[in-house]
């Protein structure tokens, strides 16, 4: 398709799309209508399934998209999906939602105070602006988002909200804090529509039509019509019954999901709000009427936010668990209005601490007397954070898994086979002068036989069973198709705090600074001698705790820190606040019992005076600067009771706090002391203090920029927190390591702490080195650099062998790499910070993939960097899992192939899997079930493919004598054998342990193709053998109702002649039919048992008692009717009586058939080819697997020789690995300069990077 008239919308974003414009073409539409009539509506269905064909077939391209009436959209991601959209036109006073302000500015509406009705504006327009005419605005809607045409850009754009006009923080206070007039609100609503995240639950009829128009059900409808014409009513009825159950189940599931999502979104989504209409006018309105620019009043008792809004007056305490997954109250402060912060452009991402998000719960507000807590609406509807989350659920990306792509290719191969049978049937029928109607029916019938109608239902069964088993172990799934993908995970990223370690931190101790150096560590900050110290005052004030229903609530670390002081926090009541002009501060004070001991000899008056003085020691928190993950710190401004000066206290990451302190206050041993604690896995927080100038008043502090306060501080010391590993962590990581599943830590914590935790939990063994990549961005004329530092090992190894290898070339479970590789690698891991990660991805793109192979620790990572890391790992073909507690992990959980949330809060909606057990033991459980489900899918698919081919072979052979299988024979095979076996063979539970071997991911692979093809050839050979053998028997004759083959030779059984008054027009009853029916029935059971494999991914089939009972019952029944025929059953199945000797012969044929099939699958495939040929292909050939001859035993030497011969025979030797990370691993094996040497620096220049020794 030509690019000259294509437009790109959402450029650079996840939902980027290409757009082409079209106009209806009458003559094309007439041709399509005629074609639809001629094809019985089939053409309409094809155009419905393929929207690009539908648009091109009925419209002509227009070079000017502005003039188009229909748009053709194509996503630019790897799926390249097509969509169709209709262009609409509306009349509006302006072309952009914020043009209205300029339009109405001559009418003197300062901040929307003057005009409150359309009529007033219309009257004035008639007098002064009669020339203003409504303009046409073109737009289209796609995935609940409206795109409007922009004449300047000559492209479509999305209006998100107030951010579109790039307002500064100060201008929000000056220009947008008084509210909108009703007129402006109505005008903007033309563009932003109703403020509602509308999840419409489709009617059952709509869902039914959408489901029924699925290509599979259309094919089933075609099959049922064809079978009805052939009078195969029973089989057609069985297929209709199955389809109805399948459709009903699907409709119920989809409807239930829509209702659940609707209920989740609808809860409190429509509320009454107070809207400001000018400076003084406050009116009640429905939240659906809100538009960006409106000013709403936040009630003191809180509310559920119906939109995204930025605070301009007052403070709020908010529970954001709906978005972050962390049920911890967060303090939101008003947007800065002056200084450098005030001059900055407002951004939701950068100003999160001042923004109230849709769906979050405002718990309480803090306000000034006479002033309301106000917020300016910035986004509404689906543009809000909650709306974006709901959109991602309503319109998810397709699951990109090789199994499903290969399944379609395999079905196309079956269609090709059906085409051969179709042509064969037509030619054979013409030669035998069969009537035209019969030719058409039978040739089409061969197609319905080849493509199994029960395939999708059978494939889904294994996933459904796995989902139920996961539910029993506390893992809930909202995306069942991803269970199969879990079976292919070979890398799992873990958050640290709350995931690998306990959620809470325990205070280990404090280390204060006295006279410029560290004092000895102390374990009790509540010691009475420290009550008045700046260190304890900082611990007691520098936090964001609040009281909810009398209980302290807030960040768990803040709680631990504050409780360790023993102090008391008191918040003002609403009545107390109303009595004062300024906002009443939160007050902290030491408990009454913590008083300095008074000498009993001191007189009572002195004692009472000292007690009163101590009791009056209180500190009021005047202003908070909340913790920022970007700044890695928080601070407060406080005033002690009775003092005029205010103080500032700061806490945060030690490196950050030290950079904000005066150098003479930082101890010389700061770096060594910090490393001492972080190497042992402690979480270290630094404190600082500064006395502010006396001239700073209460109100001035409220408007100060935090940068002016957080500077030239006095370093107070360190708080050492202990973050204990969860009991299950080490064991789970050991299991994953043993299974060759790579593990990566992604945390916001300190680098050395993360390295220590990684060593403690076994993610890094004592023998392995850690290389820290410390990257710095370019500055002035200096290029970007990477400094490589080697950390000290906790233990040294006597030999060079490493317990495991990070880059697993051993995807199918053999020893990785070999000794030569181990000696070269010697076990190393890269560690880097979020800052270094950003520099490397931007300035060293050619190193990203190399580092991705061995990088195990990512510290100080921001939420968006976690998502970016998942994408980097996926770019080298890792199948990535992400496990987090929901806090700051939502993006990575959504982006990973398999996201596992340990939080049961609403944020788990962003994750495909949610564990009710808050530890990582869910990860191996999920991978085991995923592997079992994946193998089950392969087994079922292979079985269903063999079923269709076996039946195809039987019918093709019978067509050669103008015969066919009978209606009840089809019914017995498809229902009694196939459906029962297909649904019970999926019941095997997962194997009890994770093994190093990984299941295959592709149907189009050597082992699976060999398996299917050998079984097809085996079945074909034995069917042809039986077909020809029966025709060569001396008793054989063309069967008639009077034939009496049973009594031709003496047997122990006596039968009457086949006397029937029924005339068999379809020639169903004959010896060939009966023989092939017996043989094929046993073939179905044989391949089912052979394909239903157990260890190492599933429990053995003998533990699947429904499957075993079904197989045994069917075997008994088939042997019974074959060796001891029952006339009633024979008559029902339309099989004829044959001599007993022939029945024994058929038994021998089916037993030999089963034995050959078993030997081919088990001995040849599983033992010889799988272990010696295909597994080595997975490892990337034998070149990188060299083992010295000195280490070879005779057995391994023979195996190696055999392997080499078979690899040569199957052309596998030296084959390049297909996945990218294996290719990079092989390249690194040949790179003598990798890994970088200790104490070296890598520079980026216009030429390739070069590394020099420091």
Q: Block means of pLDDT (10 residues each) for the chain, length 1254 residues?
A: 70 84 91 88 86 90 86 85 90 78 41 38 41 79 90 88 86 84 84 85 84 80 79 75 77 79 73 80 85 88 86 83 63 80 81 86 71 88 84 72 70 80 80 77 77 74 84 84 86 85 78 86 81 87 80 78 85 55 70 52 45 64 78 86 85 89 88 84 86 79 80 89 83 90 86 82 86 85 85 47 33 36 61 89 87 89 82 88 74 82 63 83 91 88 88 88 83 86 88 84 74 89 93 82 62 43 65 92 93 86 90 93 88 87 92 92 69 45 33 43 49 64 85 82 62 52
* Coil, helix or strand at residue 652: strand
- Buried residues in 1030-1058 as b, exposed as e (16+ CB within 10 A): beebebbeebeeebebbebeeeeeebeeb
Separation of CA 1149 from chain center: 51
> What distance in Å separates the CA atoms of residue 968 and residue 1073, rounded to the nearest whole number?
13
> What distance in Å separates the CA atoms of residue 47 and residue 64, rounded to the nearest whole number?
24
Closest CA to 1136 of 969, 1011, 1021: 969
| pLDDT for res 504 | 64
pTM: 0.73
Q: 743 - beta bridge partners?
A: 492
| pLDDT for res 272 | 87
Closest CA to 278 of 99, 117, 114, 106: 114
Question: Known catalytic residues?
Answer: 495
* Coil, helix or strand at residue 650: strand
| pLDDT for res 816 | 36
- Buried residues in 494-524 as b, exposed as e (16+ CB within 10 A): bbbbbbbbbbebebbbbbbbeeeebeeeeee
pLDDT digits (tens, 9 = 90+) for 383-422: 888 888 788 777 877 665 666 677 777 777 777 887 887 8
Pairing of strands 374-379, 682-691: unpaired
> What distance in Å separates the CA atoms of residue 944 and residue 937, rounded to the nearest whole number?
10
Closest CA to 1180 of 1229, 1213, 1203, 1211: 1213
Q: What tokens were used for 350? A: 């950068």
In the block, residue with structure tokens 């790109």: 8
| pLDDT for res 328 | 65
> What distance in Å separates the CA atoms of residue 1114 and residue 1088, rounded to the nearest whole number?
12
Closest CA to 499 of 728, 661, 684: 728
| pLDDT for res 1110 | 93
Closest CA to 678 of 560, 554, 772: 772
> What distance in Å separates the CA atoms of residue 54 and residue 24, rounded to the nearest whole number?
11
Residue length of the chain? 1254
What is the number of alpha carbons within 13 Å of residue 796 lying toward its C-beta? 2
CB 839 within 8 A of CB 868: no
pLDDT digits (tens, 9 = 90+) for 484-521: 888 889 899 998 877 888 766 778 888 888 888 888 88
| pLDDT for res 378 | 92
What's the angle, vertex CA 15, arms to CA 11 and CA 16, rounded to 5?
30
> What distance in Å separates the CA atoms of residue 532 and residue 874, rounded to the nearest whole number?
54
């Amino acid at each position: 398709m030509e690019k000259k008239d294509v437009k790109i919308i959402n450029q650079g974003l996840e939902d980027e799309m290409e757009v082409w414009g079209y106009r209806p073409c009458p003559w094309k539409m007439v041709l399509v209508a005629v074609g639809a009539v001629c094809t019985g509506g089939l053409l309409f269905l094809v155009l419905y399934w393929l929207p690009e064909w539908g648009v091109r077939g009925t419209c002509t391209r227009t070079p000017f998209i502005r003039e188009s009436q229909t748009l053709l959209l194509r996503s630019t991601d790897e799926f390249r999906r097509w969509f169709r959209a209709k262009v609409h036109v509306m009349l509006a006073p302006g072309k952009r939602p914020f043009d209205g302000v300029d339009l109405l500015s001559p009418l003197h509406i300062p901040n929307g105070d003057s005009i409150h009705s359309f009529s007033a504006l219309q009257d004035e327009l008639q007098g002064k602006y009669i020339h203003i005419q409504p303009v046409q605005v073109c737009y289209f809607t796609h995935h609940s988002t409206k795109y409007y045409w922009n004449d300047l850009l000559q492209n479509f754009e999305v209006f998100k909200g107030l951010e579109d006009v790039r307002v500064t923080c100060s201008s929000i206070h000056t220009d947008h804090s008084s509210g909108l007039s009703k007129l402006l609100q109505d005008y903007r609503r033309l563009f932003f529509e109703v403020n509602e995240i509308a999840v419409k639950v489709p009617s059952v009829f709509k869902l039914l039509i959408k489901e029924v128009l699925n290509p599979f059900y259309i094919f089933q409808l075609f099959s049922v019509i064809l079978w009805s014409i052939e009078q195969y009513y029973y089989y057609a009825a069985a297929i209709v019954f199955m389809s109805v159950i399948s459709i009903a189940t699907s409709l119920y599931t989809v409807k239930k999901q829509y209702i659940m999502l609707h209920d989740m979104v609808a809860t409190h989504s429509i509320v009454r709000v107070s809207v400001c209409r000018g400076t003084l006018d406050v009116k009640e309105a429905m939240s659906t009427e809100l538009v960006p620019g409106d000013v709403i009043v936040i009630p003191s008792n809180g509310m559920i936010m119906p939109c995204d809004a930025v605070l301009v007056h007052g403070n709020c305490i908010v529970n954001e668990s709906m978005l972050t997954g962390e049920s911890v109250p967060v303090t939101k402060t008003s947007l800065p209005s002056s200084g450098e912060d005030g001059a900055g452009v407002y951004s939701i991402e950068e100003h999160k601490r001042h923004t109230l998000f849709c769906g979050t719960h405002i718990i309480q507000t803090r306000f000034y007397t006479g002033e309301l807590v106000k917020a300016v609406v910035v986004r509404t509807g689906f543009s809000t954070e909650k709306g974006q989350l709901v959109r991602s659920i309503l319109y998810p990306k397709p699951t990109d898994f090789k199994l499903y792509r290969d399944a379609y290719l395999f079905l196309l191969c079956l269609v090709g086979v059906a085409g051969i049978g179709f042509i064969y049937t037509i030619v054979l029928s013409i030669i035998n002068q069969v009537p035209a109607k019969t030719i058409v029916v039978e040739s089409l019938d061969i197609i319905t036989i080849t493509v199994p109608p029960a395939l999708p239902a059978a494939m889904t069964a294994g996933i459904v069973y796995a989902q139920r088993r996961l539910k029993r172990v506390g893992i809930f799934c909202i995306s069942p198709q991803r269970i199969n993908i879990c079976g292919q995970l070979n890398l799992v990223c873990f958050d640290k705090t709350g995931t690998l370690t306990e959620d809470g931190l325990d205070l280990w101790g404090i280390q204060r600074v006295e006279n410029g150096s560290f004092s000895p560590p102390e374990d009790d900050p509540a010691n009475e001698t420290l009550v008045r110290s700046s260190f304890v005052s900082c611990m007691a004030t520098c936090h964001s705790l609040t009281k909810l229903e009398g209980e302290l609530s807030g960040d768990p670390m803040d709680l631990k820190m504050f409780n360790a002081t023993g102090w008391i926090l008191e918040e003002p009541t609403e009545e107390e606040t109303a009595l004062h002009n300024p906002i009443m501060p939160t007050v902290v004070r030491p408990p009454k019992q913590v008083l300095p001991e008074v000498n009993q000899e001191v007189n009572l008056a002195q004692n009472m005076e000292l007690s009163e003085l101590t009791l009056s020691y209180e500190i009021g928190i005047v202003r908070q600067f909340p913790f920022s993950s970007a700044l890695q710190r928080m601070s407060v401004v406080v005033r002690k009771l009775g003092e005029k000066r205010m103080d500032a206290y700061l806490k945060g990451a030690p490196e950050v706090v030290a950079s904000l302190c005066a150098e003479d206050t930082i101890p010389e041993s700061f770096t060594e002391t910090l490393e001492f604690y972080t190497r042992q896995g402690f979480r270290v927080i630094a404190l600082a203090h500064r006395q502010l100038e006396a001239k700073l008043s209460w109100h001035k502090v409220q408007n100060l920029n935090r940068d002016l306060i957080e500077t030239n501080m006095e370093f107070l010391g360190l708080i050492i927190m202990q973050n204990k590993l969860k009991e299950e962590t080490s064991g789970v990581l050991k299991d994953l390591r043993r299974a060759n599943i790579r593990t990566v830590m992604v945390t916001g914590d300190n680098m050395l702490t993360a390295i220590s935790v990684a060593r403690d939990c076994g993610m890094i063994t004592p023998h392995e080195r850690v290389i820290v990549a410390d990257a710095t961005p370019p500055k002035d004329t200096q290029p970007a650099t990477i400094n490589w530092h080697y950390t000290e090992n906790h233990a040294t190894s006597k030999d060079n062998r490493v317990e495991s290898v990070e880059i697993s070339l051993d995807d199918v479970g053999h020893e990785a790499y070999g000794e030569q590789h181990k000696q070269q690698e010697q076990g190393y891991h890269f560690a880097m910070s979020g800052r270094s990660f950003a520099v490397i991805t931007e300035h060293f793109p050619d190193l990203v993939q190399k580092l991705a192979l061995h990088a195990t620790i990512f510290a100080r990572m921001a939420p968006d960097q976690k998502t970016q890391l998942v994408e980097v790992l996926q770019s080298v073909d890792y199948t990535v899992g992400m496990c987090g507690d929901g806090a700051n992990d939502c993006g990575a959980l959504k982006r990973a192939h398999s996201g596992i949330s340990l939080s049961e809060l609403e944020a788990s909606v962003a994750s495909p899997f949610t564990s009710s057990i808050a530890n990582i033991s869910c990860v191996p459980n999920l991978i085991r079930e995923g592997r079992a489900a994946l193998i089950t899918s392969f087994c079922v698919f292979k079985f269903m493919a063999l079923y269709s081919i076996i039946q195809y072979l039987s019918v093709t052979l019978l067509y050669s004598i103008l015969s066919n299988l009978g209606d009840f024979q089809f019914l017995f095979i498809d229902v009694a054998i196939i459906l029962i076996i297909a649904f019970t063979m999926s019941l095997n539970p997962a194997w009890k342990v994770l093994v190093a071997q990984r299941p295959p991911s592709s149907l189009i692979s050597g082992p699976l193709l060999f398996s299917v093809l050998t079984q097809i050839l085996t079945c074909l050979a034995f069917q042809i053998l039986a077909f020809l053998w029966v025709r060569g028997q001396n008793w054989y004759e063309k069967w008639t109702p009077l034939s009496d083959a049973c009594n031709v030779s003496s047997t122990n059984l006596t039968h009457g002649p086949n006397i029937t008054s029924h005339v068999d027009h379809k020639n169903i009853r004959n010896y060939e039919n009966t023989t092939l029916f017996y043989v094929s029935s046993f073939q179905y059971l044989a391949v089912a048992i052979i394909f239903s494999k157990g260890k190492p991914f599933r429990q053995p089939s003998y533990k699947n008692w429904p499957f075993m009972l079904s197989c045994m019952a069917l075997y008994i029944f088939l042997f019974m009717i074959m060796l001891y025929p029952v006339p009633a059953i024979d008559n029902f199945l339309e099989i004829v009586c044959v001599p007993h000797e022939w029945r024994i012969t058929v038994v021998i044929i089916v037993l030999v058939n089963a034995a050959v099939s078993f030997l081919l699958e088990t001995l040849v495939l599983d033992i010889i080819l799988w272990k010696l040929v295909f597994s080595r292909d997975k490892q990337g050939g034998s070149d990188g697997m060299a083992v010295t001859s000195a280490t070879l035993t005779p057995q391994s030497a023979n195996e190696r020789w055999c392997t080499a011969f078979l690899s040569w025979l199957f052309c596998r030797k030296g084959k390049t690995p297909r996945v990218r990370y294996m290719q990079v691993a092989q390249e690194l094996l040949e790179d003598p300069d990798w890994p970088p040497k200790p104490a070296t620096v890598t520079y980026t220049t216009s030429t390739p990077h070069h590394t020099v020794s420091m």
